[in-house]
Amino acid sequence: MTQASDSRDSELAASLSPEASAAEGSSTCPPSADAQLPKANEGTADLAVLRTQVVNALRDWYVMALDSIASLLDGRFLQQPPKDLWLLGRHYDIEVQPGEQGWAGGYPPDVIDDFGRLIWCTYRSQYPAIAQSDFTTDAGWGCMLRAGQTLMAQALQLHHFGRDWGFSWDSALDEHVRRRQLYVGIVEQFLDDYTPSSTFSIQRMAAMGRQFEGKDIGEWFGPYGTARILRGLAHQASHEVSVYTTTDGVVYLADVCEAEFKPTLILVASMLGIDRVNPVYYPFIQASLMLPQSAGIAGGRPSSALYFAGFQGDELLYLDPHYTRPAVARREHSSYSQADLATYSCANPRRIALSRLDPCMVFGYYCATLESLVDLRSRVELLADDGVKVIMTFDNGHAPEMALPSETPASGVDTANTEDGQQALAARLPETPSSGTSTSSSRSTSGEIVLEADCSEEEWVTEL
């Protein structure tokens, strides 16, 4: 397999622009190693680049061969792909009409453009050694941390941009400049160093993993440990986006809505089977990626972490962190070029069958407002009402181990789950509008929050 030349790197990132062409969107992925290399000892640096190029090419061949063999064994190799595709809550009809030619790469330009805007975090090398270790790369052990970074990055893009955005790197228009600066600011939070703005760097994640999980640098992390690390780093930095985690599938609203609500990424860690995902959970996995709050899923195949952003039929679209590139050198915020950050995007969606997934995964949901949180609850409960096996529920109180001291009397009864506690929470949730106005939440006379599903957009449920 031939590796794309360095000139293709800049073309990959062109998908960040709404003006990107279909040809640009079909760039080979992964891109070649980043050109930003240390000036000292260039011979050693060139050798390292050559080695990563060979490893990445072998990885690319291995994944393609593995996916092809699996498709053949599953009887999907010669089947026509379903025409419906979902990508982080957005639906695309990719059916080729009679007389029309297919698209390069198998997807229409708008899908390639949307997928290419995802921030892709992968293995990096040639960065400063992680504290208390000699590791200058996370290749071989950091794939789940990188999948978690990718999930967090999508939440930050939803926070700053929503789902409808794009910019041109060369445009001087104020809105394009603003979006470009925001995009660079998001990527900087994942650069591989100890700079304060690198909130979720691999160095900080590994250090937090030692504190939370007791793991030495170089040990593999699981989905739940990664979720806890993201929550700890966001809390440590007083981040503008709060991170809430749960492993029992219960989202305690009093914990999410404490004091004043702030934009929140909800991470639900779950194990959906033993060796493989139990098929009973397939509909929920698909429905989760149809939700407007979806920030994706960090999971993978056995012993190999991936980030899932959408699905087409019974296959999930994913980004693979198992490609090693040199760390991007930090520079002045306004000095990054399109080529500098090209390796943080990928314009080649790959698919993996639901039947091949590892059962351990973390589901991410970004709620910008209280109304968005209420809507998420409504949609999940609507799924449950329609017979979908859901992995999460909502409770108005505090988690037992997180109950506030003032709300836990000597008897051990958590008043957050009593009528008074529910009324206190209700005061922070959206008010019930006057009669004749539609709402996704209301409060019963007992003080309990009752969420009524607004089904004006329930096509996303019936599509299943």
Continuous H helices in 100-250: 109-116, 143-161, 174-188, 202-213, 223-236
DSSP states along 2-45 = PPPPTHHHHHHHGGGSTT--HHHHT--SSPPPPS---STTHHHH
Strand partners of residue 366 = 265
Place of tokens 């504290």: 131
- Three-class SS state of 87: strand
Nearest to 297 by CA among 106, 86, 124, 76: 86
Q: Are the C-beta atoms of 228 and 245 separated by less than 8 Å?
A: yes
Whether cis (ω within 30° of 0) applies to the bond prior to 196 is no
Cβ count within 10 A of residue 157: 21
Q: Give me the phi and psi of 24, to 5 degrees please.
A: -65, -40
Q: Which residues are catalytic?
A: 143, 320, 322
Burial class (CB within 10 angstroms; exposed 0-12, middle 13-18, buried 19+) of 428: middle
Continuous H helices in 109-173: 109-116, 143-161
H/E stretch holding 73: helix 42-73
Nearest to 203 by CA among 132, 140, 153, 152: 132
Q: Are the C-beta atoms of 358 and 215 separated by less than 8 Å?
A: no
Q: Are the C-beta atoms of 404 and 398 separated by less than 8 Å?
A: yes
Residues in CB range of 256: below 8 A, 6 or more apart:
244, 264, 266, 367, 373
- Three-class SS state of 417: helix
For 70-98, letters b (16+ CB in 10 Å) and e give bbeeeebeeeeeeeebbbbbbebebeeee
Return d(Cα 197, Cα 338) in angstroms, integer: 20
End-to-end CA distance of the chain: 38
